[in-house]
Amino acid sequence: MTQHSKFSEAALEQAIIDLLDKEGYPYVQGDTITREPGQVLLHADLRAFLAKQYGSDGITPQEIEAVINQLEAYSAADLYESNKAIMKLVADGFLLKREAQT
């Protein structure tokens, strides 16, 4: 008879953190993140990511704000449906109306 070790929620969380770390995603403990209570999007982090990720495409600060506004427009009233829709955007991407390039 073999003895099975118990896989706890903490062990699962750590395993996921380790997997994400191996893929290059940094881990930051939630209570160390500076944000307003109830704020879901980390605006500064999202702005920095979009600027870095799409800088070579010439993304503008106004376009970055348009992305943030689009994500914030999802209703918190139906959290499940909003989360599902946002995850679809994250996975599939979405069209962003670009500013006129000069």
pLDDT at residue 60 greater than cutoff 90 = yes
Cα separations (Å) of 15 from 28, 72, 91? 15, 30, 22
Query: What integer best gives the mean pLDDT of the chain?
Result: 85
pLDDT of the residue at 36: 80
pTM (whole model) above 0.95: no
pLDDT at residue 1 greater than cutoff 60 = no
pLDDT at residue 48 greater than cutoff 90 = yes
pLDDT of the residue at 101: 67
pLDDT of the residue at 56: 92
pLDDT at residue 100 greater than cutoff 80 = no
